Amino acid sequence: MTAWAEQDKLNGWDPHSGSTEERAALKKLKNFFTLNLDESCVMASEGIVRVIGNKEKKKQEKNIQDNRDSITTVRVGSAGNIDGPRVYLAKGKECDLESFNNFCDHYDSPPGSCVEMTPNAYMTNEAWANICPKMCKGIREMEIIRDHPDKWVVLSLDGFGSHLCPQSLLVFNENKILVIKEEGDTLHKCHRRTTSW
């Protein structure tokens, strides 16, 4: 059974019944309940712009040992073109900036957005466990979704190990979010079909 069929079942949606207008309205509504999560890493360099991606290559790899600083961003968006939580992973043990500790209060960012400190600005199991409750709360506060607290959301994400920690998957489940794991290194191809950024 596909995630969308499971979502229809859990939400009591029947995409095959009703008038043409009712089916079209349901299809439009479902776009707001179809989300994608993706991570991007931004690295500082010596001021030289380099293209490090090639669509002809199956997997993109870059030696990052020669870079001084980096930050990872995690973004959530819906196929209905609504921005969800944004998470910024920065290098360090503690964040001393009050504006980063209360990120949503100080910046025009979607609910659930935050800054999480990690040893190297990359995702870890601990960071993901800290982020998930905030992110889930932010997803449930997204436009349209917030008007339907009893409806389930489908969220696609890549199969990065931290994303699949059992305790985090429980948090998603408690917030009525079905998680779809994309195969590794395919998200750049798949998310264009499910999410409009």
Question: For the chain, what percentages of helix, strand and coil (3-state, to nearest 5) are there?
Answer: 35, 25, 40
Report, as an integer, the average pLDDT of 83-89.
89
pLDDT at 185 over 90: no
3-state secondary structure of 129: helix
> What is the rounded distance in angstroms from the CA atom of residue 126 to the CA atom of residue 105?
24
DSSP assignment letter at 154: E
> What tens digit of pLDDT does each residue of 22-81 get?
999 999 999 999 999 887 776 665 555 555 566 676 666 655 555 456 677 888 999 999
User: What residue spans define the domains of the chain?
Assistant: 3-43+67-194
Q: Predicted confidence band at 196 (pLDDT cuts at 50, 70, 90)?
A: very low
Q: Name the residue among 163, 158, 162, 160 with its Cα closest to residue 182.
A: 158
> What is the rounded distance in angstroms from the CA atom of residue 154 to the CA atom of residue 137?
15
Q: What are phi and psi for residue 157, nearest 5 degrees? A: -150, 165
Strands of 83-91's sheet, edge to edge?
Answer: 114-118, 83-91, 70-78, 34-43, 153-158, 177-182
Burial class (CB in 10 A: 0-12, 13-18, 19+), 76: buried
pLDDT at 13 over 80: yes
Q: 47: alpha, beta or left, given left = phi > 0 and alpha = psi -120 to 50?
A: left
pLDDT at 142 over 60: yes
Q: Predicted confidence band at 194 (pLDDT cuts at 50, 70, 90)?
A: very low
In single-letter form, the type of residue at position 152 comes to W
> What is the rounded distance in angstroms from the CA atom of residue 181 to the CA atom of residue 164?
8
Q: Which residues contact 40 (CB under 8 A, 6 or more apart)?
A: 72, 73, 75
Please report, rounded to a whole number, the percentage of residues in the chain having pLDDT higher than 70. 69
> What tens digit of pLDDT does each residue of 102-117 get?
665 656 788 888 888 8
Q: Determine the pLDDT at residue 101.
A: 57
Which listed CATH number (1.10.150, 2.60.40, 3.40.50, 3.30.420) goes with 3-43+67-194?
A: 3.30.420
Q: Determine the pLDDT at residue 127.
A: 86
